Amino acid sequence: MGRHGTIAGRKAAQDNKRAALFTKYTRAIMMAAKGGGDPEYNASLKNAIEKGKAINLPKDKITQAIKKGTGELEGETYEELTYEGYGPGGVAVVVDVLTDNKNRTNSAIKHIFDKHNGNLGVPGCVSYMFNRKGVILVENAGGVDEDTLMEAALEAGAEDFKADDELFEILTTTDDFLAVAEALRGAGYELVEADVEQVATIEAEPKTEGEARSLAKLIDALDENDDVQKVYTNCSIELDV
């Protein structure tokens, strides 16, 4: 009985988590589709669809989400909101959400910040530390030559190029993002991720291991909220989220 209960409980938890992911990625596809319903001409939409497929989001849900985003189908009315605040150690946190109930989301985000030793601030309190940039990631695999990729990216209009052991990161302006992403896809590169994001221009670092752990828990809790689409920080160190 106990063993059966444990397995059943684990399956229920997994089902709940899968449903939450389906909700999050369906909304992400809807939001991306506002920029155009053809993924071949909308890199953000293509990326959102690929993420949905990776968690086995059904094809019909993807199609419906695109049509709702473009207005072809009626659906819930969602509002895009951005929350700003500070996490443990004074690290800046920016949270992008998509919600159908602003009051519910306001309460939930404030509760998460309070619970994890953060401070939810007013609009503009930390956003000056970030710039919106196109961010394109390519896996640093054996078949990808760094110099060739960098040349292709810069020729297509990229602003910056960074590399580490796992990924190549290409930064663009928001205006050039789509052109650079499509040029790299056309050159045969597989994009791990391609989206317009908030990129920190001023960095901060938790002062203690305890603050770093609390910050990681704050980010994790925000990510788990159904309404939250993206969480950005200006933390300069890797966190175990």
What fold is seen in the domain 77-241? Alpha-Beta Plaits (3.30.70)
Query: Is the pLDDT reported for residue 10 higher than 50?
Result: no
Q: To which H or E segment does residue 95 belong? A: strand 92-99
Q: How far is CA 32 from CA 104, 169, 196, in A?
A: 23, 21, 10
Which is more confident, 93 or 2? Answer: 93
Whole-structure pTM value: 0.79
Q: Find the range with the poorest average confidence among 8-12, 181-185, 187-191.
A: 8-12
pLDDT of 165 reads 85
Per-residue pLDDT reduced to its tens digit, 97-143: 988 899 999 999 999 999 999 999 999 999 999 999 999 999 988 78
Q: How many CB atoms are located within 10 Å of the residue 24 CB?
A: 22
CATH class for the region spanning 2-70: mainly alpha
Q: How far is CA 46 from CA 24, 35, 58, 178, 219, in A?
A: 16, 11, 15, 11, 25
Count of residues in the chain: 241
Query: Is the pLDDT reported for residue 92 higher than 70?
Result: yes
Q: What is the mean pLDDT of residues 227-238?
A: 92
Give 41's pLDDT tier (boundaries 50, 70, 90).
confident
Place of tokens 């956003």: 127
Q: What is the mean pLDDT of residues 229-233?
A: 93
Domain chopping of the chain, boundaries: 2-70, 77-241
Q: How far is CA 10 from CA 13, 14, 28, 190, 226, in A?
A: 5, 6, 27, 35, 20
Establish how many alpha carbons lie within 13 A of residue 164's alpha carbon, considering only the half-sphere containing its beta carbon. Answer: 4
Q: What is the mean pLDDT of residues 83-110?
A: 95
